[in-house]
Structures are given as C-alpha cells and as structure tokens.
Amino acid sequence: LFFQIFDAFKSRLHDSNSKVNQVALETMHKMIPLLKDNLSPVINMLIPAMVDNNLNSKNPGIYAAVTNVIQALCQHLDNYLLLQPFCTKAQFLNGKAKQDMTEKLA
C-alpha cells in the first residue's frame, strides 16, 4: 500500500501544471519529517521524480520547494539512503541542478 500511494504521488511531483507540481513538492516537504527513514522503500523512485525537472526550474516557487525537500531529506533521513540516488542525479543532471546536487553530496 505504501508503495502504491507513492507511485501515484510520484506523477504529481513532475506534473505539467506548475501549481500542482509546486503543491506536491510542498506536501512532500511536510511528509518527510513525519515518515523519515520509512521512506527508504520509495526513495529511489521519489528523488528522480522530485529532482529531474524541478531543480532546473525557472519557476522560483518550484525551485524553492524542491530545494526545501532536498534539505528536509538531508535532515531527516539516514545519509546512507541518499548517497546512491544523489550520486546518480549529480552524475546525469546538468546546469544549476548538477551544481546543487554536487554541493549536497559534498
């Protein structure tokens, strides 16, 4: 059930409607402190959904929301869970997103 919920939620994280996308990111930011390491089964699915289009977004609301989500992940999850997905994103992203992910890894 947990996986099914986040599988459905994932599509909202990269919705073509920027308002839906931003609210999904803001909601994710609120859920992270509550779920913490319980997110481990879905973290490899969620990080790409959150980061791929949003971290290079020209929309300041979306960019702020995704950076808040990344910060919350770093604060509330075991860094070991984040290492592989962050490395993968840092390797394959470009522009500001690559810089942001590289800084988080450092």
Determine the residue type at 61: G
Does the pLDDT at position 12 exceed 90? yes
Domain residues for the domain of 80 are 1-104
List Cα–Cα distances, 79 to 24, 26, 74, in angstroms: 23, 21, 7
**For position 63, what pLDDT does the model report?**
97
Does the pLDDT at position 106 exceed 90? no
Looking at the structure of the chain, the number of domains it has is: 1
16-30 pLDDT, tens digit each: 999 999 999 999 999
Q: Cα(87)–Cα(94) distance, rounded to whole angstroms?
A: 13
44-85 pLDDT, tens digit each: 999 999 999 899 999 999 999 999 999 999 999 999 999 999
What average pLDDT does the segment 25-49 reach? 95
